[in-house]
A and B are shown apart, each in its own frame.
Chain A
Amino acid sequence: MPLLEIRNLKVEFDTAKGAFKALDGVDYTVDAGEVLSIVGESGSGKSVAMLAVMGLLPDTATITADVMEFEGGDLRTLSSRERRKVIGKDISMIFQEPIASLNPCFTIGFQLAETLKIHTDLSGPERKARVLELMRAVGIPDPEGRVSAFPHQMSGGQCQRVMIAMAIACSPKLLIADEPTTALDVTIQKQILDLLVQLQQESGMGLIMITHDMGVVAETADRVIVQYKGRKMEESDVLSLFENPQHTYTKALLSALPENATGDRLPTVSDFAEAGGF
């Protein structure tokens, strides 16, 4: 049984210009211990699917799916109270803007303890110990000193580490990372990606990595789903995707990477769109 299984997911938004189809019949499956990367450009609906799973889409969104199961339990019929029990404990998520994702009014130690308070039965001192343990696990130097720091006193990379600590606080079975390194510098990105992969391997959780960056995909993923305008273009393991892309759009994306430039000009997706017709 896969950890997360979604069949034929459709998401529509109401806008001033009528209904907008963000996702049009996409399937996702993730197994425990697997790193799935969903890659696409803006407007491909890569984040929408996971936001739908988390129940984080606004009211204007209409979500339909034939199957939407987490560990065999149907997510569609959950009441919001039951959903909250699953989300944050068994499924958790980290976002692009680490500093904005933390509440500026509370210390990071307090915010970490808050997560534990909601989802576990740990006593006060136990929570304190666990917070320090988590901070050590995500590589925050001097956890005893940093526990009483406010988010604005820390760098973006440190904040993202705190977000990760918060996300893994309850040992989730599935971690969704939505562009976790886009706002960070290259050297910090490397550290965060390494950390995520290391945590994933240690705990055997499923990891969904949503990104637009082919480099991030190449560095982390086991399996890749390529999306374009709300549809799935291609799904394959990471090596065959880079070695032998099947879909024209994937080929276009790969050849648009400046490091793969062969001639004087970069081929663009529209060059391929004319030829491939997608």
Chain B
Amino acid sequence: MTKNASAAAATQDTLEQESRNATKAMLLEFWYYFSQNKGAVLGLAVFVLLVLVALFAPLVAPHDPDVQYRDSFLVPPVWLEGGKAAFLLGTDAVGRDILSRLIFGARFSLFIGIVVVTIALVGGIVIGLVAGYMRGFVDTFIMRVMDIILAFPSLLLALVLVAILGPGLMNAMIAIAIVLQPHFVRLTRAAVLSERSRDYVVAAKVAGAGHFRLMFKTILPNCLAPLIVQATLSFSNAILDAAALGFLGMGAQPPTPEWGTMLAEAREFILRAWWVVTFPGLAILITVLAINLVGDGLRDALDPKLKRS
């Protein structure tokens, strides 16, 4: 009896080992296709760096982002005449270190991206699944509502929503999420429509799977690939929109070191002190570019899998 039990345990171990190997092989294959795209790897590296900087902002930043140095208003970057070694990228109009503000700003940007994408993704997936799975009247109703949202210029709609909800970072994020949501709904619905008539879904139905299981366990995992790509692209969109709202004074409120808000504050110094405007702009540009490159690579890595099976 004990011998049997130990044999069973041994086979269980090997089974689990095999199972892990299978998962590992899938990940390796994914990485192979992803790494074929050099731009994506570069983008990923920049993004990881950004995440690290954001996580360890208090350790990395040379100054407190909100401290005003009264003796150094609008100090140019260190390599220019009149630059100070203490302020690598110079200071803004009230004497705050731009580099430190950018570093802390990365936190906000990533936070905005994550929150907005999560809200839009979860909402979009659920609504899209329901629309694609139920078809008929429900589908028509949901899709018309989404069409109405899409018919508004996105920034304008976000502005209206913020005007209703009141300015502030959280409300801005909710507004942006609502604006981005229809893209996820449409994408999910399209994927569900093409998957729901596949044989494996019918097979699960014959095996006795209910509606919820079919929707979330059978169909959804096979629709994720395009959604992941869309999520990364929306991540950068969210950062851009948040920056735009911040610039218009409807997003994060001063003195929050959010990149768009920083741009807005620096508006009047464009001609006198170019660095106050340029560096937040560059930060937004680089971040968005990096994330878009990653999204591109994800598309490459995930698409052949879609075609194959």
| A contacts, CB < 8 Å to B | 16
Q: With A and B bound together, what is the CA distance between A65 and B82 in angstroms? A: 69
Contacts of B18 in A (CB 8 A): none
**Cα distance A16–B36 in the bound complex, in angstroms:** 10
Q: From B31, which residue of chain A is reached at the shortest CB distance?
A: A16
Give the residues in chain B near A16, CB-CB below 8 Å. 28-29, 32-33
Q: How far is the CA of A214 from the CA of B29 in the complex (A)?
A: 36
CB-nearest residue of chain B to A16: B32
Complex: A16 Cα to B29 Cα, angstroms: 6
Q: How far is the CA of A16 from the CA of B32 in the complex (A)?
A: 6
Mark B24-45 against chain A: 1 for CB-CB distance below 8 A, else 0. 0000110011000000000000
**A-binding residues in B (CB < 8 A):** 28-29, 32-33
Inter-chain CA distance A53–B45, complex, in Å, is 42
| Bound-complex Cα distance A57 to B33 (A) | 19
In the docked arrangement, what's the CA distance between A160 and B122, Å?
Answer: 46
* A16 CA / B28 CA spacing, docked (Å): 9
> Which residue of A is nearest B32, CB measured?
A16
A16–B308 alpha-carbon span in the complex (Å): 14
Interface of B is mostly: helix
Q: How many A-B residue pairs have CB under 8 A?
A: 4
Instruction: Return 4 A-B CB contacts under 8 Å, by A number.
Output: A16-B28, A16-B29, A16-B32, A16-B33
Q: Which residue of A lies closest to B33 (CB)?
A: A16
Name the CB-closest residue of B to A14.
B36
By a CB distance below 8 angstroms, the chain A residues around B32 are 16
Q: How far in angstroms is the closest Cβ of chain B from A42?
A: 14
The 4 closest A-B pairs by CB, nearest first: A16-B32, A16-B29, A16-B33, A16-B28
Smallest CB separation, A59 vs chain B (Å): 12
- Residue numbers in A under 8 Å from B29 (CB-CB): 16
List chain A residues, Cβ under 8 A from B33.
16
Minimum CB distance partner of B36 in chain A: A16
Q: Quote the shortest CB–CB distance from A177 to chain B (angstroms).
A: 25
| Smallest beta-carbon distance B111→chain A, Å | 35
A15 to chain B: closest residue by CB: B32
Return A203 CB to nearest CB of chain B, in Å: 37
In the bound assembly, the distance between CA atoms of A16 and B35 in angstroms comes to 11
Nearest Cβ in chain A — how far from B154, in angstroms? 32
Closest CB in chain B relative to A197 CB, distance in Å: 35
| CA A135 to CA B240, docked complex, whole Å | 58
Chain A residues with Cβ below 8 Å from B28 are: 16
C-alpha gap A15/B266 in the complex (Å)? 51
- How far in angstroms is the closest Cβ of chain B from A54? 22
Please measure, in the bound complex, the distance between the C-alpha atom of A83 and the C-alpha atom of B33, giving whole angstroms.
31
User: Closest approach, in angstroms, between the C-beta of B28 and any C-beta of chain A?
Assistant: 8
**What is the bound-complex CA distance between A16 and B33, given in angstroms?**
7
Distance in angstroms from B24 CB to nearest chain A CB is 13
B126 to chain A, nearest CB (A): 34
Distance between B309 CB and nearest chain A CB, rounded to angstroms:
15
| Distance in angstroms between the alpha carbons of A80 and B33 in the assembled complex | 28
CA–CA, A16 and B25, complex, Å: 10
* A84 to B145 Cα, complex, angstroms: 50
What's the minimum C-beta distance from A100 to chain B, rounded to whole angstroms?
14
Tell me the complex Cα distance, A16–B301, Å.
Answer: 11
Could you tell me the distance in whole angstroms from the C-beta of A80 to the nearest C-beta in chain B?
24
Give min CB distance, A242 to chain B, whole Å: 36
The complex places the Cα of A16 from the Cα of B30 at a distance, in Å, of: 9
CB distance from B272 to the nearest CB of A (A): 53
Cα–Cα distance between A41 and B50 once the two chains are bound (Å)? 51
Q: Once bound together, how far apart are the Cα atoms of A233 and B29, in whole Å?
A: 33
Chain B proximity of A19: nearest CB distance (Å): 13
Measured between C-beta atoms, what is the minimum distance from B304 to chain A in Å? 9
Return A9 CB to nearest CB of chain B, in Å: 26
Task: Please give the distance in Å from B297's CB to the nearest CB on chain A.
Answer: 15
- Tell me the complex Cα distance, A16–B31, Å: 9
CB distance from B244 to the nearest CB of A (A): 40
